[in-house]
Amino acid sequence: MITRLSQLFVRTLREDPADAEVPSHRWLVRAGYIRRAAPGIYSWLPLGLRVLQQVEVIVREEMDAIGAQEVRFPALLPREPYEATNRWTEYGPNLFRLKDRKGADYLLGPTHEEMFTLLVKDLYSSYKDLPLSLYQIQTKYRDEARPRAGLLRGREFVMKDSYSFDVDDAGLAASYEAHRQAYVRIFDRLGLEYVIVEATSGAMGGSASEEFLAVSATGEDTFVRSPGGYAANVEAVRVPAPAEQDASGIGAARPVDTPGTGTIAELVDAANAKFPRPDRAWTAADTLKNVVFVVTGPDGKAELLVVGLPGDRDVDMKRLEAALAPAEAAPLADDDFAANPGLVKGYIGPVSVVDGVAVAHLGAEGPLKLRYLTDPRVVPGTAWITGANVVDTHLVDVVAGRDFTSDGVLDVAEIRDGDPAPDGSGPLSLARGVEMGHIFQLGRKYAEALGLKVLDANGKLVTVTMGSYGVGVSRAVAAVAEATCDERGLAWPRALAPFDVQVLATGKGDEILDAATTLAEELDARGVRVLLDDRKASPGVKFADAEIMGMPTSVVVGRGLADGVVEVRDRATGERVEVPVAEAADHVAALVRT
Ligand code: ATP
Ligand code: MG
């Protein structure tokens, strides 16, 4: 069947939508693929829906190929299972919660571990029933703090989620590997440039996990790679602690006057001017910076946390959030320092010197009882310049382990280009990406919480071990659009394009429209999916729309017809060739099949 543009439910827009931050969002809206219904919530128009469905087909084929079986759960879910795993609370404000007319609590599913676990528990009871992998392609809801970039971060979105059930760890490892391979095939078929990186588990819990990130300058995730093959989301990088140092030659911590040195740069300048080192200049890395955060748990309870780290590095907020999840952190506001007189802004340090003696100021031992966590580089024996908890005063030669101890390690400092890879595989380089998929070895957390056990070969009840695997299906539409579009519009790869070919009848007169229609019919007969631009519009409008809409091939039936030729255009390369009308259908059909 030929689709006629004159009949298709679509309007291309000349103006960018006001809220468009990234090209894929701009073009998907302008080309008439999606329309915003509310922040982070989109309607799919015919062109967009065709792309979405093609992503679904690819995902479905690859999941079926590893023996996973498709099911579909409701989006509207009861509270109790999520209460049993504590995620009703842990998901915090990201969860859409609602009540039915009787006052019972419900939620709109953000992910479905609980429901799958309970379904398998309902129906299966023996090791002979396992291994089992189930999946669905279904709508998810998350009240994201920052819905962004159209489909890339929606509050309603389509996810493929699957779950594996095994009787032992070896089984889980095999199920995980099968999914990993399926994901490789899915993202290869989508034509995305992607990397597989070590990841953190977030609100999901569990142990080993990896993410598939589409490499993209506009991505929200930052990942690192080393020449030796290390690859990780920055959130997952664990900086190894250096060896402890011998501090026996370092004198006692002593206060120094450092007026007007509330910043690290001012402090380093003052240190070099007033108490220079004999061997080299002081640098920011010699200072211990202490940053105060308000950490709010999913239950709404807030506490202060002080993070101590080398002064040449900032706290990376995404690493901090990943480390503290499900709690959320925000820097202590200036006004709130006033309410905490023990925290002298710009001069905070782990110890105070009282009558020549260092005494704890932060941490469990300190008078404030504030949680104090330090960067892995702050190992015993390292000496620091740090705040004296007195305005305009710092302490020199404050030695970790000797003068202070922290309440633990918190590895949240920024990772920089050139930092060594944790596994010794060379210097790291940073890049940005969009998380397309995430695979987890969940282990027994959910099965334990919900009582999913089966009888093993010896007749003993064992807790099932699970994996959980997600693909952002609607996000993939945007990610592919983002990777392929240019300054003129969308430019779909063949695997995802809503139509294979756009045939443009450009010029007045029945003859041109008749020839274009005939060509469209010939293509259709060859199994090519055709969009025929039969509108009464100028050639300029049709050319521009074809570029915005982004079918991989277009055929212009117009002026050349008098000479018996049509023009075949490649959207991605811009290449144009003239082809005799009589050969056009075979020529284009061959292109589509390559
Ligand atoms: P992110 O870190 O981007 O918030 P996540 O780690 O919370 O994602 P998962 O729970 O791992 O996401 O969900 C599985 C997949 O669903 C992700 O890999 C991503 O492709 C997709 N996804 C998650 N959140 C959204 C969203 N708000 N909009 C669109 N797709 C999403
Ligand atoms: Mg994830």
Q: Which residues of 104-142 are buried (b: 16+ CB within 10 A; e: fewer)?
A: eebbbbbbbbbbbbbbbbeebeebeebbbbbbbbbbbbb
Q: Whose CA is nearest to atom 28 of ligand 1?
A: 153
| Any atom of ligand 1 within 6 Å of the Cβ of 113 | no
Q: What is the dihedral of CA 79, 84, 88, 89, to 10 degrees?
A: 150
Q: What is the pLDDT along the chain (594 residues), one digit of tens a residue?
A: 999 999 999 999 988 888 888 999 999 999 999 999 999 999 999 999 999 999 999 999 999 999 999 999 999 999 999 999 989 998 888 999 999 999 999 999 999 999 999 999 999 999 999 999 999 999 999 999 888 888 999 999 999 999 999 999 999 999 999 999 999 999 999 999 999 999 987 555 556 899 999 999 989 999 999 999 999 999 999 998 999 999 999 999 999 999 988 899 999 999 999 999 999 999 999 999 999 999 998 888 999 999 999 999 999 999 999 999 888 899 999 888 888 888 999 999 999 988 888 899 999 888 888 999 999 999 999 999 999 999 999 999 999 999 999 999 999 999 999 999 999 999 999 999 999 999 999 999 999 999 999 999 999 999 999 999 999 999 999 999 999 999 999 999 999 999 999 999 998 889 999 999 999 999 999 999 999 999 999 999 999 999 999 999 999 999 999 999 999 999 999 999 999 999 999 999 999 987
Tell me how far the alpha carbon of residue 10 lies from the centroid of ligand 2, in angstroms: 34
Tell me how far the alpha carbon of residue 435 lies from the centroid of ligand 2, in angstroms: 7
pTM summary value: 0.90
The strand pair at 328-331 and 287-296 is best described as antiparallel
Question: Ligand 1 pocket check: which of 194, 475, 477 to mutate, most ligand atoms within 8 Å of Cβ?
Answer: 475
**Cβ neighbours, 10 Å, residue 345:** 14
How many helices (H) and strands (E) would you count in the chain? 14, 31
Chain segment 427-478, per-residue pLDDT in tens: 999 999 999 999 999 999 999 999 999 999 999 999 999 999 999 999 999 9
Q: φ and ψ at 135, to 5 degrees?
A: -145, 165
Dig out the tokens for 35 from the structure: 């329309």
The strand pair at 209-215 and 429-443 is best described as antiparallel
Tell me how far the alpha carbon of residue 152 lies from the centroid of ligand 1, in angstroms: 9
249 torsion bin: left (phi>0), alpha (psi -120 to 50), beta (else): alpha
**Cβ neighbours, 10 Å, residue 369:** 12
**Cis peptide bond upstream of 326, omega within 30:** yes
Give residues with Cβ within 8 angstroms of 574, minimum separation 6: none
Distance CA 436, CA 417 (A): 24
Query: What letter does residue 460 receive in the DSSP assignment?
Result: -
Distance CA 112, CA 317 (A): 28
Query: What letter does residue 291 receive in the DSSP assignment?
Result: E
Distance CA 50, CA 53 (A): 5
> Is residue 436 within 8 Å of residue 479, measured between CB atoms?
yes
Dig out the tokens for 476 from the structure: 């993939």
Query: What letter does residue 550 receive in the DSSP assignment?
Result: T
> Is residue 296 within 8 Å of residue 93, measured between CB atoms?
no
**Cβ neighbours, 10 Å, residue 576:** 11
Q: Which residues of 18-40 are buried (b: 16+ CB within 10 A; e: fewer)?
A: eebebbbbbbbbbbbbbeeeeeb
| Any atom of ligand 1 within 6 Å of the Cβ of 144 | yes
Q: How far is CA 185 from CA 133, 138, 432, 435, in A?
A: 18, 21, 22, 16
Tell me how far the alpha carbon of residue 467 lies from the centroid of ligand 2, in angstroms: 13
Give the strands of the sheet with 96-99, arranged side by side: 76-78, 105-108, 96-99
User: What residues does the ion ligand 2 have nearby, CB within 5 Å?
Assistant: 438
**Cβ neighbours, 10 Å, residue 225:** 19
